[in-house]
Structure 1
Amino acid sequence: MTSLRSTHHIFSLVLCASLACCATSASAIVEPSQPAVVADNKAVVAAAFDRWAAGGSDFFNEVVAPNVVWTIEGSGPYAGTYHGRDDLMKRAVRPLTVRLKTPIRPVSRQVWADGGYVIVHWTGEAVAGDGKPYLNRYVWILRMENARAIEVTAFLDLRAFEDVLQRVPQPEKT
């Protein structure tokens, strides 16, 4: 009986020590909802938008993770989920940008952050290849990890987007 109590006592001590180690390790993990992480995520996205508005063209490489899961909400041929930055660029971004005379520039934006998410409401303007303006309003909800967007849900006026694709022919490759 004494041996059984000793074994039970030793087991209890080992279990308590293991739980204490796990609790200490877990408290050292940086949670996405910590104020510093939230502020950093917001600052990363806001600064990248500022550079884009000023003429930069590297937003997607700066902010979007290569393995992003990007979902365009709505209906139509461009609504859906894109797996990876390359897939997004090839099937959704480039079909529009090759039909523009000027690159899309954010002309106004609002940025919020909450937990591991950054939400951007922005207006983009460009000139289409036929000289007509392209104007669209977007809301992007970015789930951030290590200062990169790993998941994005995008809302935009797909009718305006698709109008450019239907109206302006894709340039011939040279």
Structure 2
Amino acid sequence: MPAGPPGGGGQGGGRHDGQPGHRRPRLRVRAIYEDADAGTVVVLWDGAGVTVTGATYANTYAWFLTFRDGKVVDATAFFDSIAFNDLWRIDVDAVEGAVEP
């Protein structure tokens, strides 16, 4: 069963993705728990990056994934919703020189 956060897991290390001033987010998997009989995987991971305003965004996530026939059929994610909401409130159009994703 596959397990891990998007981007392949591990440490992103802030590698450059080719966009000026744009860095990939860093990911660190803390723990992976698997219940093979139930087809369930729980992944606890941290993600961090820099917004278009230069502010740091960091969050800790817990993903509960249910697999059937090698595919995710159900997923639930927990995270710090206040930090996440602050990230989504950034008005990219108002930031001069912002890099489009």
Structure 2 contact 52–99 (Cα < 8 Å) conserved: no
Cα deviation for residue 103 of structure 1 reads 3.1
1:116 maps onto 2:74 in alignment: no
Cα deviation for residue 105 of structure 1 reads 3.0
Distance in 2 of aligned mates of 1:54 and 1:140: 17
1:53 maps onto 2:10 in alignment: yes
User: Between Structure 1 and Structure 2, which shows a larger proportion of helix residues?
Assistant: 1
Q: Which runs of 5+ in 1 are unaligned?
A: 1-40, 56-100
Cα deviation for residue 142 of structure 1 reads 0.1
Over the matched positions of the two proteins, sequence identity in percent amounts to: 27
Q: TM-score, normalised by structure 1?
A: 0.42
Q: 1:130 to 1:54 in 2, by over 3 A?
A: same
Q: 1:49 to 1:165 in 2, by over 3 A?
A: closer
Q: TM-score, normalised by structure 2?
A: 0.68
Q: 1:159 to 1:50 in 2, by over 3 A?
A: closer
Distance in 2 of aligned mates of 1:169 and 1:49: 23
Matches within 5 A, 1:65-104: 101-104=22-25
Shift >4 Å, 4+ stretches: 170-173
Structure 1 contact 104–124 (Cα < 8 Å) conserved: yes
Please identify the structure whose Cα radius of gyration is greater. Answer: 1
The number of residues matched between the two structures is 85
Q: 1:117 to 1:160 in 2, by over 3 A?
A: same
1:91-113 deviation line (CA, Å, top 9, x unaligned):
xxxxxxxxxx4333312321001
Two-structure CA RMSD over aligned residues (Å): 2.6
Does the residue aligned with 1:45 lie in a helix, a strand or coil?
coil
1:153 maps onto 2:76 in alignment: yes
User: Between Structure 1 and Structure 2, which shows a larger proportion of strand residues?
Assistant: 2
Q: 1:102 to 1:158 in 2, by over 3 A?
A: farther
Match of 1:35 in 2: none
